[in-house]
Amino acid sequence: MLLSSDANSPYTLLLPLALILVLSKLLSLVARKIGLPQVVGLLLTGIVLGLIKMIDNQSIFTPFTMEGISFIAEIGVILIMFSAGLETDIKQIKKTGKEAIIITLFGIIFPMLLGFLVAFVLPGGLSKETMFRNLFYGVILTATSVSVTIATLKELGKLNSKIGTAIVSAAILDDILGVIILSVIISLEGAIVDGNGGNVGADIALVIGKTVLFFVLAFVIGLLLRKLFKMLSNKYDHHRRIPIFAVAVAFFYAYAAEKWFGIADITGAFFAGLILSGDKDTEYIEKKTDVTSYLLFTPVFFAKVGLTSLESFKDIDVSFILFGVLFVLAGMAGKLFGCGAAAKICKYSFKDSLRCGIGMMCRAEVCLICADKGIDAGIISESIQPFILALILITSFVTPVILKNSYRGEIGHDIEDIIAYINPEKARQDKLKAQ
């Protein structure tokens, strides 16, 4: 037979890819219809595919195609983090300044602490291994993804309200801090736990040194690159060339971070985005890379998460399920009370403080990617993935409801009200039909 008909020929990847694309688009269409963010649709796709994989018996999801999927998912992760960096508008933070910083700090410390404490439920006391494991479970809970919150506030016309801008700035800041903390913990863990058992102190010094060196180099080289891109964009206005060079920079930064500095590749990609953010061509670069990642890479990343997380669920023990549930609650409570309290300290009204807590509660791809990173690094168990999915699904659903409701000043007592909060249009249509 044809060599290209072998089970291990690249063309076999095309069927899973087609499946992923069709499902994710259909399910994100459904999600949107009931007023939920696209990310929910993508997550559900992953779960559905995970179920298919269980009964599929390696006809579609062979070890070989799974490898192809993990290659594409990796590129997806890099593009997502790069675009997260591009979206980061430093100027925005200056607007709200001190308040945003306080909200961010509380919004990082509380979830980290809660996550850390909850992790004690897991077997293993405070050995140096579990210390990092517990810390990492905390770190996962720091990254906010306020796209859902922003969408809701936009819809309510409250995005540019005082609390609205505070939420957006805080979310930006805690992405940056979250990524830095993640990098430090990953590399420290690398030095202390997996270290060659030599002089640990020296290892730690080395790791911290490397981490600092990375950020310094990333910044200095970044300034030069930024100049180069300014030059390019003045030379050829809106040219295909620019996004391609930008993506190349993201890939290179990601590789360098992981390979030469022992820092997560996602940190490199995120900082590549930061470097090119808030510039004349930023929006153009973002548009082109987003087209590419939404056309293939992002759906494949979410699919990969679903495909791997459901398997890990099979051999999960009770104590972990208990932990998982507490972990999800910690993730929600941490932001709700942390950011809420911070807002109150910043003299916001109780209602606005509540809105801040609710708004910062949302998680999405960044949280998922951080967890993925910890699993790859062997720091945390892959069994956590289903709970991360749950955290994202719950917050994506709950935040818009409560947020909209907080602006209506009333609680929905039945499903119609909830629908009304999520999707006013639909509710209105239903009412009309009813009459």
Site residues (CB under 8 A) for a second copy? 1-5, 9-15, 17-18, 21-22, 25, 29, 67-68, 70-75, 78, 186, 190, 194, 240-241, 243-245, 247-249, 251-252, 254-255, 258-259, 262, 264-265, 288-289, 291-292, 294-296, 299, 373, 376-378
CB 297 within 8 A of CB 68: no
Minimum distance of a second copy from residue 20's CB (angstroms): 8
Toward a second copy, which CB reaches closer, 15 or 34?
15
What the block records as the tokens of 399 is: 């935040």
User: How far, in Å, CA of 338 to CA of 182, rounded?
Assistant: 19
3-state SS record for 20-87: HHHHHHHHHHHHHHCCCCHHHHHHHHHHHHHHHHHHHCCCCCCHHHHHHHHHHHHHHHHHHHHHHHHH
What number of residues does the chain have?
435
Minimum distance of a second copy from residue 187's CB (angstroms): 9
Q: What is the DSSP letter of 316?
A: -
Toward a second copy, which CB reaches closer, 255 or 337?
255
Minimum distance of a second copy from residue 332's CB (angstroms): 29
Minimum distance of a second copy from residue 418's CB (angstroms): 26
CB 169 within 8 A of CB 100: yes
CB 379 within 8 A of CB 128: no
Task: Tell me if residue 418 falls in helix, strand or coil.
Answer: helix
User: How far, in Å, CA of 45 to CA of 151, rounded?
Assistant: 22
Tokens 């932001």 locate to 335
Minimum distance of a second copy from residue 240's CB (angstroms): 6
Toward a second copy, which CB reaches closer, 154 or 240?
240
Toward a second copy, which CB reaches closer, 165 or 293?
293
Minimum distance of a second copy from residue 220's CB (angstroms): 19
Toward a second copy, which CB reaches closer, 75 or 114?
75
Residue 195's region, left for phi above 0, alpha for psi from -120 to 50, else beta, is: beta
Toward a second copy, which CB reaches closer, 109 or 151?
151
Minimum distance of a second copy from residue 347's CB (angstroms): 42
Residue 414 CB-density burial (10 A; 0-12 exposed, 13-18 middle, 19+ buried):
exposed
Toward a second copy, which CB reaches closer, 213 or 291?
291
Toward a second copy, which CB reaches closer, 175 or 258?
258
Minimum distance of a second copy from residue 93's CB (angstroms): 29
User: How far, in Å, CA of 79 to CA of 90, rounded?
Assistant: 20
